[in-house]
């Protein structure tokens, strides 16, 4: 997979294994888009494997706050992804959104919530 991350939350690759999961963060290689007009962005590569799950999200997922002001955070997202590695992408989206909503406990949403989950299937040319 070739990608460019221009300062957004790094998408997470979940690589299920027999006893656990490996997580890879596709970190930004440049400053956030829009900071400087003349910045060049270069694509980076990551080798996907069959069964890998790609999770792209905005900070509206990880920065949801509960009534105490505590943020849901990347650690909770990572823990949840490890437990969802055998689920279908749609089920993972539903589970993340449910967990975030429960954590917020009716606190108002202050940011966009964008979430894309994809899984590399058998038969894909990778």
Instruction: Tell me whether residue 126 is in a domain.
Output: no
Domain residues for the domain of 68 are: 2-119
CATH, residue 44 = 3.60.40.10
The distance from CA 62 to its chain's CA centroid, rounded to whole angstroms, is: 9
> Measured between alpha carbons, how far is 39 from 16 in angstroms, rounded to an integer?
36
- pLDDT given for residue 126 in this prediction: 58
Instruction: Tell me whether residue 125 is in a domain.
Output: no
Confidence of residue 69 (pLDDT cuts 50, 70, 90): very high
Q: Is the pLDDT of residue 124 over 80?
A: no
Higher pLDDT, 106 or 74: 74
124 CB neighbour count, 10 Å cutoff: 11
> Measured between alpha carbons, how far is 5 from 8 in angstroms, rounded to an integer?
6
Number of domains in the chain: 1
Instruction: Tell me whether residue 47 is in a domain.
Output: yes
Instruction: Tell me whether residue 93 is in a domain.
Output: yes
Instruction: Measure the N-to-C terminal CA separation of the chain; round to a whole number of Å.
Output: 8
Compute the average pLDDT of residues 85-101.
95
Q: Encode pLDDT of 4-58 as tens digits.
A: 888 778 999 999 987 778 999 998 777 778 788 888 888 889 999 999 999 999 9
């Amino acid at each position: 997979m070739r990608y460019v991350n221009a300062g957004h939350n790094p998408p997470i690759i979940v690589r299920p294994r027999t006893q656990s999961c490996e997580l890879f963060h596709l970190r930004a290689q440049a400053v956030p888009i829009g900071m400087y007009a003349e910045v060049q962005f270069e694509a980076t590569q990551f080798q996907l494997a069959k069964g890998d799950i790609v999770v792209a999200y905005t900070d509206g997922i990880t920065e949801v706050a509960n009534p105490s002001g505590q943020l849901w955070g990347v650690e909770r997202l990572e823990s949840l992804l490890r437990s969802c590695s055998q689920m279908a992408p749609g089920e993972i989206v539903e589970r993340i959104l449910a967990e975030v909503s429960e954590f917020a406990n009716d606190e108002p949403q202050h940011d966009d919530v964008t979430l894309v989950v994809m899984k590399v299937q058998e038969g894909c040319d990778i």
